[in-house]
Structure 1
Amino acid sequence: MKNKWMQHLMKGALILSLSSLIAKILSAVYRVPFQNMVGNTGFYVYQQIYPIYGIGMTFALSGFPVFISKLIAEQDGMPAQREVTKRSFVLLAFFGVLIFGFLQIGAVPIAAMMSDVQLAPIIRSVSFMFLTMPFLATTRGYFQGTFNMVPTAVSQVTEQLIRVGVILVAAYLSIKVPWGVYKMGTWAMSGATFGAIGGTLVLARAFHKQFFYAPDSREVIHESWTRKFEVYGRLLKRFFIEGGSICLFASMIVLLQLVDSFTVKRGLVQSGVPENLAKGLKGIYDRGQPLVQLGLVISTAFSSALLPSLTHAYQQRRHYEFYRIAQEMVHTSSALSVAATSGLIALMPFINRLLFGDTSGNTALCMYMLSIILVALINSYNSVLQSQNEFRLTTVALFGGLLVKIIFNEWFVRHFGTTGSSFITALSLLAVFLIIYAKSSEPMKKALFEKGFIFKLLIICLIMSFVVGLTTSVFGFNPVTLGRLKAGVVTVFVAAIGAGTFIFLALRWHLFTIREWLSIPYGRRFLKWLSKRNQK
């Protein structure tokens, strides 16, 4: 019976992880055709407001639902679970209306702080999604807390499909109809609200059936008004401290992007760059965001997939197993993120040409790619802390990193352009990681250096980058003169050589243990193929 229950939990976690993976891929991939249709300035207009949407999405998708699911799992019986769900909805409804009102009233001042008052309608457009956030977050949290992951997974993919569809239709219409980039941005950002409505409709049916038609759904918990105020007060405190910590950490990258929205374009203009050119440069700089998202997809999936195993080992007080799984997670996610970053940097001119049609901003984009390594490491170490119910440290670390970004970003943009902003983003993430690393347990501090792991990894990736560079040089590939199709062929060809080099050296120098190879996607098949090949 216990094994069946664990299988049910793992199946649910797999479904949710898969839907999150699909949603993240959709969220990253659509920006390439979108940027190609609307150009650098159109992309700038959309990306300036995107962080506001990103924060709302975090609240509704990966922040508050996780916290609410924890609250519900703590309750004894369905009546208590329903009661905490209702209270969570009331608190989030108040919060959602507050944010909606703030964005509606403050749209012009916020746009002015971004040095572009024409962004105000786009801010108002995205504000409507915060009205759906309370229901989305509460119902997803309820289903996850009762171990029913399917409604959350379906709503998540549905929401992203509708949003991406609206964005691409708005971009297409802006080409066919004489829309300005700001009108296009307003309609594109409305995709967030349409997607949220779609996700709400998916959840509403399942929620109504499970919440209101369960056998004991009519049981009511009677409490005095004084008691209710006390309970709401305690719940509000937990929402603020625990829920806020989870939300802040989940939106770490988006918060750094929000700082960019207020400082990059303004810093460029202050350095003497003309207004329209500054918008275009910011749009080029924003190309890095989908690349970082795609680079993080696999390493983030590792952290999510191994978190239940970590938590279970910690609760059972199996410390050896706990740190073995933690080390496995750190090794695999850091290795894949360093390899992905090295490959992206080495091939950036070709990738830039393939995806965006030119090679502008290569230096800034290469610097931005360092974020992949740092976020992967932060997520790995944070997963260990999360499994130990440690939230305060990550919150302190995040605020430390944000402070670095806020203080230094505009100055570096004025003196070094968008490359300066990329550097400060990497420096901010490094500050977050170092704070978390400094306060981690001794086994976690040693995880990166176990058997010379980090040194082997860096040398392997340096050799891989050298091989990639040598290949492009020997064959005389020039990204400036190549067409987009040829740039794509070159990217795939050289990336395959780079991946082969990495795998060969990883095997040769025993970078991974057998268990770690097995945890990598298709690692089991690869080892079986290698074993058969060696037997011949």
Structure 2
Amino acid sequence: MAKNNVFNSVIILTVSMLLVKILSALYRVPYQNVLGDTGLYAYQQVYPVAAIVAVLSLNAVPSVISQFDHEYAEKVYRLLRISSFILLILFMIFSGLIARLMGDPNLTSMLRISLLVLLPFSFVAVARGELQQRDAMRTIAVSQLIDQVIRVSVILLGIYLYTTGFSIYESGAVSILGSFLGISGAWLYLRRKGRIKPADSLSKTQLKQFLLLTLFYALSYLIMILWQLVDSFTVLNMLKHIGYSLQDSRELKGIYDRGASLIQMGLIVTTSFALVLIPLLAQAKRQGHHQEMNDYASSALKITIVFSSAASIGLLNLIKPFNLFLFKSDTEAVTLAVYMLAVIFVSLIIMFTAMLQITEDYQIQAIGVVSGLLTKIVLNIVLIANFGILGAAIATVSGLVVYTIVLFRRIIQRYTLQLKSFTVRWAMTLVVMSIVLQFTLQLPFTDRLSALIVSLVGVAAGVLIVGSAMIKFKIISADEWIHLPFGEHVIRWMK
């Protein structure tokens, strides 16, 4: 029971984050269905701007502030208020230039609206940090849900306005406004819980410490957003460079952006299961229990590999019916299939980042993300020129692989991992699942209904094969299941 109490205080927050992730993953489907791939393209080009601010206000800054006192929080509030206002003015001035660098001047108004999230950002970030410091997770969870419900509601309004005659850019501007209105709703709610007054400036040492910690708390949440930001500046330009028209380039980029929803769906399960063990890992380190620490690290990594590879390979095999059912066509299925491999490496990066934060290995994380991003940028330019939009998917996965390898080399220096015993059995399970899913794809699917049926049959077959193998071969042990959601039920089945 003592171990379970370690994360009792964050159960509500975890559940609310799951709901947030689900809502965030699903809204793109109706968006693409109504506005088409070009509409999805326009939204995704600008989305990373608002997403970076959302990550900082929801995860990174609160995590840093929760480690310090109220006076520190007030100093951070002063810093964030001033810096966010300056950034807002600068980016407003240069938004036209940024849109041209993205290859589409029509994005200017959407970029300007996306920048409005900087206005309530400072208060929301600091307030959440102080609440996290007091373990007031219920209040944080409510603020998250208010933010997300408002945001998704406004996106749905943007979708509706498109049917009344709005252009993809006008509808996109309304939709991206949802990010500002969502965080503003959280701001109004959190103001009722208390006010924050700006204090003196942070000292140079405190400023360096704050920026460093914020960067590394943000990294694991920003992975796909940073990769998408690279795509925003390179994919459209490269497609136009090799001869595609602006319209064709926008449509191809929109098809490619479908993958973001599917990847996010895959990550919901993998990260939610695996990160449950991180508090136990941190507690074992604090208590100096090195063997227990290595055991928890091995278990967390094994769970990450199992769930991420199952989700990734399942999505890869079923990409055609999923694509047809969700997005009305199975265009660029090979591109999206390659893109699905990102689930494995993003999951591993998130887990490695959490494990390295416990050992305070911050520098290697910066090396990892810079190496991965440089790989992504270079390969986007080279591969899109040779393979079209498929090159962007290959570049994404390749950049993530480089990032993963850099972190893994440090992980094996800090932890003694026991992973060999299950790898052969699990690899065989994935091969069997893939073979069965390929047989499933022999069922005819020519419209959305039949694609849905084939998708459901495939998912059921995949879950049955993976679940049976996990229980029969004890891929995850009873000691590991006990820490996972519904673990007690699985243990009973194992017996």
Aligned position for 1:205: 192
Aligned position for 1:31: 28
Amino acid at match of 1:329: A
1:336-485 pair list within 5 angstroms: 336-442=307-413, 444=415, 446-449=417-420, 451=421, 453-473=422-442, 477-479=443-445, 481=446, 483-485=447-449
Amino acid at match of 2:98: I
Whether 2:321 is the aligned partner of 1:334: answer no
Alignment check: 8 A CA contact 2:444 2:450 kept: no
CA distance in 2: counterparts of 1:136 and 1:357, whole angstroms: 38
Aligned position for 1:494: 458
Aligned position for 2:265: 294
1:35 Cα deviation from its structure 2 partner: 1.1
Amino acid at match of 1:390: D
Alignment check: 8 A CA contact 2:271 2:304 kept: yes
Q: Larger deviation: 463-472 or 115-124? A: 463-472
Alignment check: 8 A CA contact 2:220 2:350 kept: no
Whether 2:133 is the aligned partner of 1:136: answer no
Task: Decide whether aligned partners of structure 1 residues 299 and 44 sit closer, same or farther in structure 2, where only a CA change above 3 A counts.
Answer: same
Amino acid at match of 1:272: G
Q: Larger deviation: 508-517 or 54-63? A: 508-517
Alignment check: 8 A CA contact 2:315 2:337 kept: yes
1:248 Cα deviation from its structure 2 partner: 3.4
Amino acid at match of 2:372: G
1:234 Cα deviation from its structure 2 partner: 2.0
Q: Larger deviation: 392-401 or 301-310? A: 301-310
Q: TM-score, normalised by structure 2?
A: 0.96
Task: Decide whether aligned partners of structure 1 residues 193 and 356 sit closer, same or farther in structure 2, where only a CA change above 3 A counts.
Answer: same
1:519 Cα deviation from its structure 2 partner: 3.7
Match of 1:57 among 54, 64, 68: 54
Aligned position for 2:175: 188
Q: Deviations over 1:423-467 (max 9, x none)?
A: 111111111110111112357464433x1x223222210110101
Task: Decide whether aligned partners of structure 1 residues 106 and 305 sit closer, same or farther in structure 2, where only a CA change above 3 A counts.
Answer: same
Aligned position for 2:85: 97
Alignment check: 8 A CA contact 2:273 2:485 kept: no
CA distance in 2: counterparts of 1:37 and 1:150, whole angstroms: 36
Amino acid at match of 1:59: L
Q: Deviations over 1:332-373 (max 9, x none)?
A: 121011011111111110000110011011111111111100
CA distance in 1: counterparts of 2:416 and 2:104, whole angstroms: 45
Whether 2:111 is the aligned partner of 1:111: answer no
CA distance in 2: counterparts of 1:179 and 1:523, whole angstroms: 49
Whether 2:285 is the aligned partner of 1:320: answer no
1:491 Cα deviation from its structure 2 partner: 0.9
CA distance in 1: counterparts of 2:478 and 2:96, whole angstroms: 57
Task: Decide whether aligned partners of structure 1 residues 445 and 354 sit closer, same or farther in structure 2, where only a CA change above 3 A counts.
Answer: farther
Alignment check: 8 A CA contact 1:245 1:392 kept: no
Amino acid at match of 1:49: V
Q: Larger deviation: 377-386 or 358-367? A: 377-386
1:249 Cα deviation from its structure 2 partner: 3.6
Amino acid at match of 1:157: L
Amino acid at match of 2:142: V
Task: Decide whether aligned partners of structure 1 residues 447 and 134 sit closer, same or farther in structure 2, where only a CA change above 3 A counts.
Answer: farther
Aligned position for 1:503: 467
1:226-241 pair list within 5 angstroms: 231-241=202-212
Q: Percent identity?
A: 31
CA distance in 1: counterparts of 2:57 and 2:427, whole angstroms: 38
Q: TM-score, normalised by structure 1?
A: 0.88
The alignment covers a number of residue pairs equal to 495
Aligned position for 1:244: 215
1:236 Cα deviation from its structure 2 partner: 1.1
2:93 counterpart SS class: helix
Aligned position for 1:77: none
Superposition RMSD in Å: 2.0
Alignment check: 8 A CA contact 1:303 1:379 kept: no
Task: Decide whether aligned partners of structure 1 residues 149 and 131 sit closer, same or farther in structure 2, where only a CA change above 3 A counts.
Answer: same
Larger radius of gyration: 1
Match of 1:46 among 40, 43, 46: 43
Aligned position for 2:256: 285
CA distance in 2: counterparts of 1:493 and 1:121, whole angstroms: 44
1:149 Cα deviation from its structure 2 partner: 1.2
